[in-house]
Chain A
Amino acid sequence: MLNVNHIKKNYQDFSLDCSFELKPGTITGLIGKNGSGKTTLFKIIMGLLESDSGEVSLFNKKLTDLSNVDKQKVSVIFSDAGFHSQLRPNDLIPILKNFYPDFDEDYFIWEVKRQKLGLDKPIKKLSTGMEAKLKLIIALSQKPKILLLDEPTLGLDVLARNETYESLQNFMNDDQERSILISSHNSSDLENLCDNLILIDNGQILLYEETDKILSDYALIKVTEDQFKTLPKDYILRFDKQIYGYSCLTNQKQFYLENCPDITIEPGNIDDLLTLMTTGETL
């Protein structure tokens, strides 16, 4: 559905270089710290920024060849951009109806009322969390095939975040042909939601893997300095010096469980992965 093929964008002190694919029926998480290039990537995908080289294709078409009908199948959320703050949810209804033939007005009104956002309340009077909720309602009411969500849960508390993820799951369950690309710097949230994870840092993809594989095969190995010297390092992706010795990241947990019974091996989680992949050293 979405194909990002060797997209490159160079700034004075930043260089983006990414390739990945978004398949139907999947949710892909884009994880990276602030300034890692997530928003730049979203903007290139939506044609808001021009890449220096590479190609983005949506529904097997180049961005420049996309028709309005194609664009109607894509909804986007940016954490720091949306409709003008003077507009009220009620004002958005005629606007969205004219942009999206499939706009679900009943769902929009029902959700705005259910979440107590106020149909006549200007967006500028909504809290950050309420605004984030409204953005999601707008995106889901457009009934898109692809959802591109850049930090959609920014400013939301845990309960609201979980509700957002539940809405996204329901959105996926309604149509198996849909797909989502979602970015967040809150990596642990994406662990339960996403089928695939992309780890991005300084504009480069450090890891592109299925979430199940990360959870089953990746592990954090904690060893003393002596243990580190004798540790087989064939499957160590990154390591980092700690007070107790070293913490190492592997993508072959089973190998170390079988061959190094004396060392501490903890199941991999996304936070450890993010930390070690971005700050750890390679051998």
Chain B
Amino acid sequence: MKGLLVKDFILMKKNIKYILLVGLVLVYLFYRQDALNNLIIASGFLVGYMSSAGMLVATRTVSTDEDDNTSTYLFTLPFSRKTYVLEKYIFCFLVGAICFIISVVIILILCYFRNQLRIKETLYVASCVFAITTIIFDIMLPVELKFSKAASRIILVLLLLLFIAVIGFVGIFLINYGNKIAFLANMTYTKLLLYLYLIAAVALVISYLISLRIVSHKEF
């Protein structure tokens, strides 16, 4: 497991500079008061971008493993297929979590210097966005493992569009009818967060089991 993690971190290090560049632009935009008026939405956007970009780069290590026939050699090394799948989930979650923490720290520092520090709200939004990012990642990883590099890109774009459409539809529904449903009207931020993480956890388990099945039957 450790060997795989070391390999993935080294490979990711070689490809992360573009993500960091866009991240720096976002931090700059965030810092400019006139560029992003709603600080809380901006926080969510920054955390969402950083976490999903981190997880995306981490997930891309699956297709990196397939470059130049690498996986043929890789799977002769001393680890089981189960370890490979587990390592991918741990690696992606670690990278996502690191990006999440870094972006939250950046937001809090920037807010502090602008005298607009609202720790509670910022953490609520950031945690919600991170849970949603985790759900997206739960869909992405099995797709990356199942399909070839080119096919997985197309499928991922389609899935993300579908996901955005579902989120949009749910959002509109909640705005129009949210207050009329007792369960939703009484929902506190903490409960919402709890439900989101519960969905993310269930999605994670299902995603892991699907990925394990895919890799167990894979031939090289």
List residues of A whose CB falls within 8 A of some B CB.
43, 46-50, 68-69, 71-72, 74, 76, 78, 80-87, 91, 94-100
Contacts and interface: CB of A to CB of B under 8 A. Distances in A.
Given A83-B70, A85-B67, 9 more contacts: A47-B75, A82-B69, A83-B74, A84-B11, A84-B64, A95-B3, A95-B6, A96-B3, A99-B79
Interface residues of B, number: 25
B6 A94 contact: yes
A71 B67 contact: no
Contacts of B2: 98
Contact of B76 (A76, A84, A87, A98): A76
B72 A99 contact: no
Consensus secondary structure, chain B interface: helix
A82 B71 CA distance: 8
Contacts, number: 73
A78 B73 contact: yes
B34 interface: no
Most interface-central of A50, A72, A91, A95 (chain B CB within 10 A): A95
Contacts of B219: 48-50
A47 B75 CA distance: 8
Contact of B68 (A71, A81, A91, A96): A81
Contact of B220 (A49, A72, A74, A87): A49
B78 A84 contact: no
Nearest to A94: B6
Contacts of A43: 72, 220
Interface of B: 2-3, 6-7, 10-11, 14, 64-65, 67-80, 219-220
A149 to B, nearest CB: 12
Contacts of B3: 95-99
A71 B64 CA distance: 23
B78 A71 contact: yes
Nearest to A99: B3
Contacts of B14: 86
Nearest to B66: A84
B72 A95 contact: no
12 contacts: A46-B75, A47-B75, A49-B219, A50-B219, A69-B78, A71-B77, A82-B70, A82-B73, A83-B70, A95-B6, A95-B10, A99-B3
B62 to A, nearest CB: 12
